[in-house]
Structure 1
Amino acid sequence: MPIGITVNALSVLLGGIFGALGGKKMSKGFKESLNMAFGVCSMAMGIFAIAPMKNMAAVIFSIIIGTAIGLIFHLGEWINRGASNMQKFISKFIHAPAALDQKTFDATLVTVIVLFCASGTGIYGALTEGMNGDATILISKSILDFFTAAIFAANLGYVVSLIAVPQFVIFIILFFAAHLIYPLTNPAMILDFKAAGGVLMLASGFRMVQIVMFPTADMIPAMIVAMPISWFWMAIILPIL
């Protein structure tokens, strides 16, 4: 039972409704300050995930190689393009609120779709829950997503709630894919995978507080290569050393 994924999707759904209903009462300063707190929380979650790693060199190689793959294949651009297509479909049924022009509404909606459907933290959390049933990452993320959805919905309206549907579908696919991967792993590989995901969570935190705009979408392949590289390091490299 994908509890974490369900809770995360509900947090976006309910947060969007809450923001659309009461968003006008949120000041700009309140929204910005709350976003800073979200960034710090994401960093803390990332550090917690990184700490138990078994093979630092393998994790570092994973981040470098995975990011290089993402940049070579322009993964971030593909994700933005997919989000843009999703936005065009949604905009056929829901138009920009009176306070926003359609161009601003469309651009912001693409950003929100990427944030909720293709974040490193969400993908990492869905894979982790699928592997070992640990829903704590997604449940912790749900707290942040509820308020993030509320803040965006204050400007965009109820359309933010609809993003919970594609988010749930994407995370469920990752959840069941992880079931096939887990039997091929060992505890050290899992910890190194979590550490790679933690690095992405840390990078996401820096983006939230706008200190450094890491290419987090392009860094997503790091989680795909983390376990093979961890296995290669332990089976091939360490015996030589």
Structure 2
Amino acid sequence: MLPVGSLANAAAIILGSLAGCLLHSRFPERIRVIVFQGLGLCTLLIGLQMAFKVQNILVVIFSILLGGITGELLRLDTLFERLGNRFKTAVKSENPKFTEGLITASLIYCIGAMAIVGSLEEGVTGDPTVLYTKAILDGFASVALASTFGSGVLFSFIPVLLYQGALTLFAGFFQQYFSPELIAQLSATGGLLIVGISITLLDIKEIRLSNLLPALPFVVALVPLADWLQTLF
């Protein structure tokens, strides 16, 4: 199955980023600041809406805690920063915000209900509508992000395409294992991570979100464990 939704999403990010880079010098600072703050507020709203759909709060709590500990032990933030810097060197960019833009945009686009649910839905049903909607939103977000961070945002299409495309292909092969509860718990945990992104975007507090990413695979492991424990008690 060709992940057409992810391909459309990647194309929207490229186009939006190019527009943002072209408008960079023409954007008054006060306009750029208010657009960025608006993006942060919208991201906060999306994250809260997702997080409040949680079905088992203990699964989310343990996933976040265990994921954070795992991420810190693996030093994922340092790993991602090194990969971003290597990519920056490979493309010969002199933009000082290249790596920050690449990582920030990748986290915004990859962590969330639409990325997870949309990719799984396309894989299970073949319907890419959710990812088409996400592509429109990401395209507009790319304009704002690229106007601030520059060309690093453009290259975020690579992890988006790899991540969502892999989810779509995976869901197509293992669709019988994705229960509505598992998808809901993944969305709720992703919602908390999106709240963290909004806090960073609004310059309230910098959170090492890269180190919290292992929370998502912990959800996959803890949901069936929680169901099994409920049958015992």
User: Normalised by the size of structure 2, how large is the TM-score?
Assistant: 0.83
**Aligned partner of residue 91 in structure 2, secondary structure:** helix
Q: 1:239 to 1:121 in 2, by over 3 A?
A: farther
Q: Does 1:46 align with 2:47?
A: yes
Aligned to 1:82: 83
Distance in structure 1 (CA, Å) of the matches to 2:144 and 2:65: 33
Distance in structure 2 (CA, Å) of the matches to 1:185 and 1:145: 26
Q: Does 1:239 align with 2:198?
A: no
Aligned to 2:110: 122
- Given that 1:63 and 1:222 are in contact with CA atoms closer than 8 Å, whether structure 2 keeps it comes out as yes
Q: Does 1:194 align with 2:195?
A: no
Aligned to 1:27: 28
When the two chains are superposed, the root-mean-square deviation of aligned CA atoms in Å is 2.7
Unaligned runs of 5+ in 1: 96-101
- Within the candidate set 97, 106, 112, 1:108 is matched to 97
Q: What is the total number of aligned residue pairs between the two structures?
A: 227
Counterparts of residues 142-181 of structure 1 (less than 5 Å)? 142-143=135-136, 145-151=138-144, 153-154=146-147, 160-165=153-158, 167-181=160-174
- Given that 1:16 and 1:161 are in contact with CA atoms closer than 8 Å, whether structure 2 keeps it comes out as yes
Aligned to 2:18: 17
Q: How much does 1:191 deviate?
A: 0.9
Distance in structure 1 (CA, Å) of the matches to 2:177 and 2:12: 32
User: Normalised by the size of structure 1, how large is the TM-score?
Assistant: 0.80
Aligned to 1:99: none
- Given that 1:19 and 1:157 are in contact with CA atoms closer than 8 Å, whether structure 2 keeps it comes out as yes
Q: 1:58 to 1:158 in 2, by over 3 A?
A: closer
- Given that 1:46 and 1:197 are in contact with CA atoms closer than 8 Å, whether structure 2 keeps it comes out as yes
- Given that 2:40 and 2:198 are in contact with CA atoms closer than 8 Å, whether structure 1 keeps it comes out as yes
- Given that 1:70 and 1:219 are in contact with CA atoms closer than 8 Å, whether structure 2 keeps it comes out as yes
Cα deviation, 1:23-81, whole Å, max 9, x if unaligned, reads 32211111111111111111111122122221111111111111111111111111111
Identity score, percent:
20
Q: 1:181 to 1:87 in 2, by over 3 A?
A: farther
Q: Does 1:212 align with 2:213?
A: no
Cα deviation, 1:164-194, whole Å, max 9, x if unaligned, reads 3454234323432344454223221221111
- Given that 2:120 and 2:167 are in contact with CA atoms closer than 8 Å, whether structure 1 keeps it comes out as no
Distance in structure 2 (CA, Å) of the matches to 1:120 and 1:64: 21
Distance in structure 2 (CA, Å) of the matches to 1:165 and 1:191: 26
Aligned to 2:63: 62
